[in-house]
A and B are shown apart, each in its own frame.
Chain A
Amino acid sequence: MGLFSFFKQEKKKDTATLAKERLQILIAHEHADNRKRAPDYLPKLRDEILGVIRKYVHVNENDVNVKVEKGTDYDVLELNITLPEAK
C-alpha cells in the first residue's frame, strides 16, 4: 500500500457512521409519513356517511368530503357536505 492510498483510507467514513446516518434519515421520513397518513377507516366512514345523508337528501358522490387533520394534542375530523340548492 502506497503512501497516498494510506491517506485516502483515513478519509473514508467507517460503515457504522454511515449506518447511523442512513437510519436517522429513514426513520425521520417514516415518522413524518405516519403522521400524514389518513386512518384506514376513512373511505368506509365516508361511504357510510354518504348512505345516511342519502336517506334524506340526494347528494352526489363528490359532495361529501372527509378529512383528518393531525394536531399535536388532538386530531380533527372534518366533514364537508354540500347540499343541493333548494328549489
Chain B
Amino acid sequence: MSKVIVVTSGKGGVGKTTTSAAFASGLAAKGYKTAVIDFDVGLRNLDLIMGVERRVVYDFVNVINGESTLKQALIRDKRVDNLYILPASQTRDKDALTTEGVESVINELKEDGFDYIVCDSPAGIEKGAFMALYFADEAIVVTNPEVSSVRDSDRILGILQSRSRAAEQGGTVKEHLLITRYSPDRVEGGDMLGMDDIVEILSVPLIGVIPESESVLQASNSGNSVVLDEQSHAGQAYTDVVARFLGEDVPLRFIDVQPKKGFFKKLFG
C-alpha cells in the first residue's frame, strides 16, 4: 500500500525542501521505493538541493500535459537506490497544476509500485501548496521555533483538516510536527520557544527536532542530502525522524544544551 506524504509549513524558508530531500532519501535508504515531487512550479529548487539540477529534461507539468511520460521525467538518484525525483517546471506558473493532472501522476506512481510519494509543498496557501496537500495521507508540518512560523503552521493545519481530499471524504490526514533550526542554548537562555511550548500551542504529535546545524548549508551547497552526512547532528536527527515515521521508538537527540568543552578537554580531547 503506497502512502502520500506532504511536507508543508505555510511559511517560507523554514526547511521544507531540505526536509523533503532528507526524508525521501532516508526512506529510500531503508529500502522503500520512494518518489519525491517538487510542487513549487516556477521556483523549482528540490533538484538543486538533491544535486540533480543538470539531469532535468522533463518536469511535473510536462507529464501532466502529456508532453512526456512519467518515466521520462523521473530522475533516478545516483547515490541512493530506490529514490526518484520529479522536478517542478521552472517556466510555468502554479495554475499549470490541475487536480486531475496531479491525481493521475500520483496514481501512476502508486501503480508503478512506489511505497512512498513525498510531496514538497511551496510556501504560502495558494494553488501549489493546496495541490501538494490535497491527496496526502500524512503530513509533516515543518516549523521553526519562531512566532510567525508557528502561526502559519497552525493555519496550514486548519487547511489540512478542512480542505484535503481526506477531510472532504470525512477522514483525516495524519499530522506530524517537525521542528527545525532548533537551538537548545537559546531555548535554555529564554529567547527561543521550546519544543514543548510549540507542541502545546499546535497540539500535533512531534516526529522530530532538527538542531540548527552548519551541515545543512554544507549539504545543500554540495547537492547532497543532509541525511547522508552521518557525522552531522542534523543528518542523524533526520535519520531518527524516518525511523519514527516507520514506527520505531527512537528517543529525541540533540535537544539539550551540549556541555561546554573545558580547557583541558579542548587541549586533549
A residues sitting closer than 8 Å to B (CB atoms) are 14-17, 19-20, 22-24, 26-27, 30-31, 34
Whole-angstrom distance between the alpha carbons of A16 and B187 in the complex? Answer: 8
Chain A binder among B82-90, B134-142, B147-155: B147-155
| A–B complex contacts, Cβ < 8 Å, 30 sampled | A14-B190, A14-B191, A15-B190, A15-B191, A16-B187, A16-B191, A16-B192, A16-B193, A16-B194, A16-B197, A17-B190, A19-B147, A19-B193, A20-B193, A20-B197, A20-B200, A20-B201, A22-B147, A23-B147, A23-B150, A23-B151, A23-B201, A24-B201, A26-B151, A27-B151, A27-B154, A30-B151, A30-B155, A31-B158, A34-B158
Residue of A nearest to B150 (CB): A23
Give min CB distance, A6 to chain B, whole Å.
17
Please provide the 4 A-B residue pairs with the shortest distance between their CB atoms, ordered closest to farther. A14-B190, A20-B197, A15-B191, A16-B190
Give min CB distance, B190 to chain A, whole Å.
3
Q: Is the interface of A mostly helix, strand, loop or mixed?
A: helix
Whole-angstrom distance between the alpha carbons of A20 and B154 in the complex? Answer: 14
Give min CB distance, B143 to chain A, whole Å.
11
Given contacts A23-B147, A26-B151, A27-B201, 20 further A-B contacts (CB under 8 A): A14-B189, A14-B190, A14-B191, A15-B191, A16-B187, A16-B192, A16-B193, A16-B197, A17-B190, A19-B146, A19-B147, A19-B193, A20-B193, A20-B197, A20-B201, A23-B150, A24-B201, A27-B151, A30-B155, A34-B158
Q: Which residues of A contact B158 (CB under 8 A)?
A: 31, 34
Give min CB distance, B90 to chain A, whole Å.
33
Residue of A nearest to B148 (CB): A23
- Which B175-200 residues sit within 8 Å CB-CB of chain A? 187, 189-194, 197, 200
Give min CB distance, B64 to chain A, whole Å.
27
Whole-angstrom distance between the alpha carbons of A26 and B200 in the complex? Answer: 14
Q: Which residues of B contact A14 (CB under 8 A)?
A: 189-191
Whole-angstrom distance between the alpha carbons of A30 and B153 in the complex? Answer: 13
Give min CB distance, B186 to chain A, whole Å.
8
Residue of B nearest to A17 (CB): B190
Give min CB distance, B146 to chain A, whole Å.
8
Residue of B nearest to A13 (CB): B190
